[in-house]
Amino acid sequence: MKGIFITFEGTEGSGKTTVVHKIENKLLEMNYKVITTREPGGSKIAEEIRNIILDVDNVKMDGITEALLYAASRRQHLVEKVLPYLENGYIVLCDRYIDSSLAYQGYARGLGIEEIYQVNQFATNGLLPDLTIYIDVKPEIGLNRIKNNSREQNRLDLEKLEFHHRVYEGYNIISKKFANRFAIVDGNQLSDKVFQDSLQYIENLIKLRG
For residue 34, what are the β-bridge partners?
Answer: 91
Question: DSSP letters of 54-72?
Answer: H-TT-TT--HHHHHHHHHH
132 CB-near residues (< 8 Å, 6+ apart): 6, 7, 8, 9, 97, 99, 178, 181, 182, 183
pLDDT (average), residues 164-182: 97
pLDDT (average), residues 53-82: 95
The reported pLDDT for the residue numbered 124 is: 98
Question: Which CA distances in Å does 188 have to 109, 125, 136, 191?
Answer: 26, 35, 8, 8
Domain CATH code at residue 118 = 3.40.50.300
Reported pTM: 0.93
The domain total for the chain is 1
Q: What is the dihedral of CA 38, 177, 101, 114, to 10 degrees?
A: 150
Residue 55, phi-psi category: left (phi > 0), alpha (psi -120 to 50), beta (remainder): beta
119 CB-near residues (< 8 Å, 6+ apart): 67, 68, 71, 101
The reported pLDDT for the residue numbered 2 is: 83
Per-residue pLDDT band for 29 (boundaries 50, 70, 90) equals very high
| Tens digit of each residue's pLDDT (9 = 90 or more) over 87-146 | 999 999 999 999 999 999 999 999 999 999 999 999 999 999 999 999 999 988 888 887
Per-residue pLDDT band for 209 (boundaries 50, 70, 90) equals confident
C-alpha 134, offset from chain centre: 8
Residue 151 pLDDT > 70: no
The reported pLDDT for the residue numbered 210 is: 74
Residue 198, phi-psi category: left (phi > 0), alpha (psi -120 to 50), beta (remainder): alpha
Owning domain of residue 42: 4-209
Residue 203 pLDDT > 80: yes
Higher pLDDT, 151 or 199: 199
The reported pLDDT for the residue numbered 152 is: 64
